Amino acid sequence: MSTLFLRTLREDPADAELPSHKLMVRGGYVRRTAPGVYSWLPLGKVVLDNLSQVVREEMNAIGGQELLLPALVPREYYEASNRWTEYGDTAFRLNDRKGAEYMLGPTHEEVFADLVKGMYSSYKDFPAILYQIQEKFRDEARPRAGVLRGREFHMKDSYSFDIDDEGLEVAYTKHRDAYIRIFDRLGLRYVIVSAMSGAMGGSASEEFLAETPNGEDTFVRSTGSDFAANVEAVRVPAPAARPLDGLPAAEVHHTPDTPTIDSLVDYLNDHEVGGGRTFTAGDTLKNVLVKVQEPGEKDWRILGVGVPGDREVDMTRLEAALHPAEIALLEDEDFAANPFLTKGYVGPNALLGNELEFYADPRIVEGTRWVTGADKVDHHIVDLVAGRDFVPTGVLDVADVRDGDPSPDGTGTLYTARGIEVGHVFQLGRKYADAAQLDALGPDGKPRRITMGSYGLGVSRVLAAVIEQSHDDRGIIWPRVIAPADVHIVGTGKGEQVEAALRLGEQLEERGVRVLVDDRNGVSPGVKFTDSELLGVPTILIVGKGWANGLVELRDRVSGEREELSPESAVERITALVR
């Protein structure tokens, strides 16, 4: 440490809110170069390499082959898949001296597909799993929390290439298992959630979320089973349809001064509408209007979404369901242009009767009766029956998901939790193979379109996620597999102990133990102890006061346990620990 390029900080950096960000900067692992752009200092580089090595081992174990592709990718690669346009502001773009355009790769499906196309041509060449560990570039709208959401970051990205869907299934499962092994080796607490896949046209897609209250992703899990899903991916089970026979006819009521669902429900109950039955918010039908613009289209179209009145439309779920279309709320001029829409009193038939779409929450099944707007100011309609008085265009499952809702798998109820997406496994299918016209000749001599998977793992983000889960108020607590060293040897005092610390370090290194020795002169024991706790090496060996009596002290950074013992026993103990 006397020569290490390191300066630890006592104060938290002003721009840091999350523990991982504070500790990585204070511990001298990284330093900010620009917003969302970080330099990795010597200790940080060691940790990054250690993690990359774990990832590499598990990728190689499933038959992955490591490549290294350029970050600088010519426009035409992303053009074929339309992502040159789709990436929008997220892409870093640049020109060469001749004016040719490039993107700094945010992910590399296109380039990998092109490589395979250039080299493989027969079904005998497949399956293949190719990967790289490389810097990625995304001009994130909100870079956040140091390396957690960077604009330049490290990703392991792999791609599988198969001749048929069964092959893709196998490659997907292999990756999923490899990710489980990687995150288990790090001791990370994580959940695997099913993610939305509709947009990219694939089938299965799952995300690995590291559990932490500081995560940006909200997901739900069940109290009764291991069900977990992204909120966007929760599918509410539809109740069975009910008979239409014998239901009362729909009836319009004058309901003055009922601007909110609650005031409407009170009015209905106070005036004994419907023969004195008791209404609740869940008996009302709330119709939310939005306008939607499909990609590449100029026009917006209006559509309505009906949800039970005790729920809201969750805009994130709606956006995910309608992706890649743009969504906006209606403005006054939209109402003016469509006078059949009575703001605040829109019923399903105002839309359906004017050739607009009206989608219903899955709970709005045939035979359910609703109180909703009567398309007339101050009027509501009671007993509007789904399947009898209106037939929705389709189902949109976009109401908010709440704590206590039944779990879609039928066991337990849902509650929300937060996490950080550390990995993503994705059955892409043929989208990129289509763009690249990636085919191989099958055994019958006929060309077959290759099917692909893509699998990302945020190497630099994982480090931050590990720290979010494993730190205390004094510093980082690294899992040994990726720690910058196995043991941090602190020599206190002037000469003798520091010399002894260096000698012990040499002995341990000879036994294959990775060591960091604090041999700084003129630094107080207190500062050295504080630094050792901040840096987070899992085992600390102190050559200090006890040295005169032939004793050193072993501290466990995880449990906090301390023990005095002879230097020889300490060497034995540490060696055994590491092995």
Are 129 and 63 in contact, with CB atoms under 8 Å apart?
Answer: yes
* 3-class secondary structure per residue, 79-119: HHCCHHHHCHHHCEEEECCCCCEEEECCCCHHHHHHHHHHH
Q: Which is nearer to ligand ATP, 153 or 161 (CB)?
A: 153
- 3-state secondary structure at position 153: strand
Are 370 and 390 in contact, with CB atoms under 8 Å apart?
Answer: no
* In the complex, least distance from residue 78 CB atom to ligand ATP, rounded to whole angstroms: 14
190 binds, among ligand ATP, Mg ion, none (CB under 5 to 8 A by kind): none
Does residue 424 bind Mg ion (CB under 5 A)?
yes
* In the complex, least distance from residue 230 CB atom to ligand ATP, rounded to whole angstroms: 10
Q: Which is nearer to Mg ion, 363 or 424 (CB)?
A: 424
* In the complex, least distance from residue 323 CB atom to ligand ATP, rounded to whole angstroms: 13
422 binds, among Mg ion, ligand ATP, none (CB under 5 to 8 A by kind): ligand ATP
Does residue 149 bind Mg ion (CB under 5 A)?
no
Q: Which is nearer to ligand ATP, 159 or 358 (CB)?
A: 159
Secondary-structure percent of the chain, ordered helix, strand, coil, rounded to 5: 30, 30, 40
* In the complex, least distance from residue 313 CB atom to ligand ATP, rounded to whole angstroms: 22
Q: Which is nearer to Mg ion, 216 or 357 (CB)?
A: 216
Are 558 and 477 in contact, with CB atoms under 8 Å apart?
Answer: yes
167 binds, among ligand ATP, Mg ion, none (CB under 5 to 8 A by kind): none
Q: Please identify, among the stretches 149-157, 308-316, 422-430, 490-498, the one whose residues bind Mg ion according to the rule CB under 5 A.
A: 422-430
DSSP per-residue string spanning 489-520: EEE-SSSHHHHHHHHHHHHHHHTT--EEEE--
Other CB atoms within 10 Å distance of the CB of residue 26: 21
Other CB atoms within 10 Å distance of the CB of residue 350: 22
279 binds, among ligand ATP, Mg ion, none (CB under 5 to 8 A by kind): none
DSSP designation for 200: G
Determine the Cα–Cα distance for residues 341 and 331; give it in Å rounded to an integer: 12
423 binds, among Mg ion, ligand ATP, none (CB under 5 to 8 A by kind): ligand ATP
140 binds, among Mg ion, ligand ATP, none (CB under 5 to 8 A by kind): ligand ATP
* In the complex, least distance from residue 16 CB atom to ligand ATP, rounded to whole angstroms: 16
Closest residue to Mg ion in the complex (CB): 424
Determine the Cα–Cα distance for residues 93 and 85; give it in Å rounded to an integer: 11
DSSP per-residue string spanning 469-490: HSEETTEE---TTTSS-SEEEE
Q: Which is nearer to ligand ATP, 461 or 528 (CB)?
A: 461
557 binds, among Mg ion, ligand ATP, none (CB under 5 to 8 A by kind): none
Q: Please identify, among the stretches 23-31, 39-47, 417-425, 488-496, the one whose residues bind Mg ion according to the rule CB under 5 A.
A: 417-425
Per DSSP, what are the bridge partners of residue 416?
220
150 binds, among ligand ATP, Mg ion, none (CB under 5 to 8 A by kind): ligand ATP
By the criterion CB under 6 A, which residues form the site for ligand ATP? 107, 138, 140, 149-150, 153, 155, 421-424, 456, 458, 460-461
Helix 42-61, helix 165-185: angle, nearest 10: 140
Specify the residue for token string 């048929």. 164
Distance of CA 386 to the CA centre of its chain: 37
* In the complex, least distance from residue 323 CB atom to Mg ion, rounded to whole angstroms: 13
Lookup: tokens for 360: 């219903």
Determine the Cα–Cα distance for residues 450 and 129; give it in Å rounded to an integer: 13
* In the complex, least distance from residue 407 CB atom to ligand ATP, rounded to whole angstroms: 24
* In the complex, least distance from residue 207 CB atom to Mg ion, rounded to whole angstroms: 6
**Positions that interact with Mg ion (CB under 5 A):** 424
